[in-house]
A = this chain, B = another copy of it.
Amino acid sequence: MDDTFGSYVRDRREALRQSDATFSVRQVAMRIGVEPSFLSKVERGEAPPPSEAKIVALAREIGEDADVLLALAGKVSSDLQEVIRKRPELFAALIRQLKGAPDNALLRVVREVRDGDW
């Protein structure tokens, strides 16, 4: 098991706990709707990352971007997948083409699309 996910979550949660005692395993687990033992196992890498819905809730809890946390868990948000599935050829072509592009090039495309008159 790789477990960047678990350690990352643990680190973030412990950090938040410094200033807010409600960030215990128990309370966070309760807030995201899982058993404390399960969250504990996930954080220690003994259980694989939970389902997408729980990860999204967890991201909100620890103030992290949901897509980033999902990525750490080896997943891609289902709403993104749906966008791709609706036009597979076009999005497949686009994504494969941007695979090797540097970050700033990507950012430029993002901005162009945002600002442009599409």
List chain A positions with a Cβ less than 8 A from chain B.
65, 67-68, 70-71, 74-77, 79-81, 83-99, 101-103, 105-107, 109-110, 112-114, 118
Contacts and interface: CB of A to CB of B under 8 A. Distances in A.
A37 B81 CA distance: 30
Contact of A89 (B67, B88, B89, B96): B67
Interface of A is mostly: helix
A24 B98 CA distance: 39
Contacts of A110: 90, 93-94, 97
Q: Count this chain's copies in the assembly.
A: 2
A78 to B, nearest CB: 10
Given A76-B84, A84-B76, A99-B83, A89 B118 contact: no
A70 B93 CA distance: 14
Of residues A67, A103, A105, which shows the largest number of chain B Cβ atoms within 10 Å of its Cβ?
A: A67
B105 A118 contact: yes
Given A87-B103, A90-B106, A90-B107, A97 B113 contact: yes
B92 A67 contact: yes
